[in-house]
Amino acid sequence: MTGTALIAGVGGIVGNNLARHLVDRGWTVEGLARRPPDIAGVTPIAADLLDPAALARALEGRRPSHLFLATWLRQPTEAENIRVNAAMVSNLLEALRPAASLRHVALVTGLKHYLGPFEAYGKGSLPPTPFREDLPRLPVENFYYAQEDAVFAAAARDGFSWSVHRPHTIVGYALGNAMNMGVTLAVYATLCRETGRPFRFPGSAAQWNGLTDVTDARLLARHLEWAALTESAHNEAFNVVDGDVFRWQWMWGRLARWFEVEPAPFDGTVNPLEQQMAGAAPLWAEIAARHGLVEPDLDRLVSAWHTDADLGRPIEVVTDMSKSRRLGFLDYQPSDEAFFDLFARLRADRVIP
């Protein structure tokens, strides 16, 4: 059984991959964004989630059975993150309320649920790893909690089921995305190869030596569909990761070999990508022109700040997937192959040479 899916944030790394998956699975798919991309089989809906009146007009006559919330807007403070991002969720649910068509709402958040928001990221008293879904909320303000509360309140009011999905670092195809480690590392490796610079791990010793995991965007798409259609998964929160664990000291060499660059020995020093890639925009434009690449604007491709936040954490971060396994979601994705598949697609689409 499928239905009509409305994806809020269809242009992002989660929404883009989810839209393609659901189309392939026979869903009717509508994609909502301020500037929705052209995705085969997806009906684009252009609207601003912070403009309730315009949103209501854009959604008039729409009757989605399933809503997938995969969007957020970064603000300068956590108080503003809460105000803006909770409002986007509430505005959308209110705009869909007259149709009374929703059966299920899925919200995508992430591991800041356990690690804290940007202002307190990885600081203070944190729960032990592996993170499990039944851990209590941290005693700090967090826009993920505000988004959850907006969904819970609407579900209690309007009678639909919900699921919350907490991926770790997402690896997948999307351009112009604010949180995209895979594309960022692909561009960084390309710059290193083109200039002969060492391929230097930018993060902390804790990340280099500790266990971690990541989330393939394609696996996350399958998990979102599974939870939406599986009654026992309704009204539950889930961690979503590939199912393996690794150490960056192993993964970094794997990535280096794919790009045919020499990984620099790690000496324990943090070398943030924001510093390593500072001033590289003209060089990337020249590389793009020389190789006929589709995106010459470096800032449209990389999110160095977010990759630095992930790789610079002073603590081990690994999550538990037992809850999904017990309920029947058994999909697995080798994480190194998630990176390799992404790099191959970027090369095929002439995003990297």
C-alpha closest to that of 302 among 353, 235, 352: 352
Decide if 52 contacts 37 (C-beta within 8 A): no
Query: Which residue pairs, CB below 8 angstroms and at least 24 apart, start in 93-96?
Result: 93/67, 93/150, 93/151, 93/154, 93/158, 94/52, 94/154, 95/52, 95/55, 95/56, 95/59, 96/6, 96/59, 96/62, 96/64, 96/67
- Give yes or no: 123 in active site: no
Distance from C-alpha of 259 to C-alpha of 235, rounded to nearest angstrom = 43
Q: Which helix (H) or strand (E) holds 4?
A: strand 4-8
Which two structure tokens, joined as six digits, stand for 149?
Answer: 């509360």
Which two structure tokens, joined as six digits, stand for 221?
Answer: 């798409």
Distance from C-alpha of 101 to C-alpha of 298, rounded to nearest angstrom = 42
C-alpha closest to that of 216 among 208, 224, 227: 224
| Peptide bond just before 130 cis, omega within 30 deg | yes
C-alpha closest to that of 194 among 289, 302, 271: 289
Q: Which of 144, 145, 173, 188 is catalytic?
A: 144
- Give yes or no: 144 in active site: yes
Instruction: List active site positions.
Output: 112, 144
